[in-house]
Amino acid sequence: MISLQVFYEGHVQGVGFRFTVRHLAKGFDVTGWVRNLPDGRVELQVTGDEAEVRGFLDQVAQSELHSLIRKQTESKLNEPVATRGFEICYD
């Protein structure tokens, strides 16, 4: 199992980014969440088997969102993401 935090920068808010990510997550055995940040970035946290997580992130990068992403940074989390399924956070 692997848990990652990923930040997306670019034109990633107000374009359905979070909804597309949630939809793509349904095709993978992952749990986590995605949310907008006040600074204009989108944050994603995801947990699952490494192959599933990598496949999911590759799918995000290859989807129609590709042209909106200017920069993607990722780091490992020490704890699994505590969610059921994959959600959009509104906070």
Catalytic site positions = 18, 36
Phi-psi region of 25 (alpha: psi -120 to 50; beta: other; left: phi over 0): alpha
Up-side HSE of residue 59: CA atoms within 13 Å toward CB?
16
64 to each of 50, 67, 69, how far by Cα in Å?
Answer: 23, 7, 10
Beta-carbon neighbour count of residue 49 at 10 Å? 13
d(CA 53, CA 86): 12
